[in-house]
Structure 1
Amino acid sequence: MGQLFYGNNPEPIIIEDRALAHLKVVVATKLRRNESFTLSWRHPADDAPGRTTLWLHPSIPLRFIFEHPEPPELSAQWITRMAQSASTSGGITLLEEDLDGE
C-alpha cells in the first residue's frame, strides 16, 4: 500500500500503489499548472463509513510514498477518467480502475 502525505499532517492517507501512481500523474499535472482543486475518496471497508475530501493547492507540501520500488504500468484510460473528474466542480474523485473498459 502506498502513502500520501499532505500538508503538515503526520498521518498518511493509505492508497493502493497502482491507484496512487495514477493519482500522482493527475495531481502533478494540475499542480504544475498552478491549479487548486479537491481530491475525494470513499473510506476503505476497514475504516469508519464515509468519505473524505481534501483541498489541494500548489503551495501545500505533498508527498507520495510507494511500497514497491518499480512503478506500475499506467493505464491511459484510468488517468483520463480521473483527469476528467478533476475538471468538474467536484474535483478529482479517486476512481476504481475499470478493467472492462480497457
Structure 2
Amino acid sequence: MGTLIYGSGREFEFDDRTLSHVKIALVTKLRRHESFLLNWEIPVEQGGGRMSIWISREIPLAFVFGSRPPVLNERWMEALLHTSQRTGGMVIMPEDAAESDEFSDR
C-alpha cells in the first residue's frame, strides 16, 4: 500500500499502482500551476463514502510507496487528467474504467 500525505499530515492509503498513476497526474497539473479537486470513493471496509480534497501548489504533498514503481498505463493517466478538466475535479477511478470509450481519443 502507498500513502498520500497531504497538508499538515493527513494520510490517505491507496494501492501502489493507483497511487503511482495519481502522482503523475497530480504533478502534471501542479507543474502547470493548476489547482483542482481530487475525488475518490472510500471503500466500504473503511466506512464508505466519498472524499474530496483541494490540490494546490501551496499545500504540502508527499507520496510514500511500499513497492517498486509499476509500468505506467498512459490511458489511465490521460483519463485522470481528462476528469480534472471538469468542474467536479479529478476522479480517482479503477484502471479498467480508464479503458472505457468515454476517455478514448479514437
- TM-score between both structures, scaled by the size of structure 1: 0.92
Secondary structure, counterpart of 2:26 in structure 1: helix
Structure 1 unmatched runs, 5+: none
Bigger proportion of residues as helix: 2
Secondary structure, counterpart of 2:59 in structure 1: coil
User: Which position in structure 2 is the counterpart of 1:88?
Assistant: 86
- TM-score between both structures, scaled by the size of structure 2: 0.88
Deviations 1:9-56 (CA, angstroms, capped at 9, x unpaired): 3x4100010000000010000001111000000001211121010001
User: 2: distance between equivalents of 1:46 and 1:33?
Assistant: 36
User: Which position in structure 1 is the counterpart of 2:75?
Assistant: 77
User: 1: distance between equivalents of 2:14 and 2:50?
Assistant: 14
Aligned partner letter, 2:92 = L
Task: Measure how far apart 1:99 and its partner are.
Answer: 7.7
The runs of at least 4 aligned residues of structure 1 exceeding 6 Å deviation read none
Structure 2 unmatched runs, 5+: 101-106
Asked if 1:22 is matched to 2:21, the reply is: yes
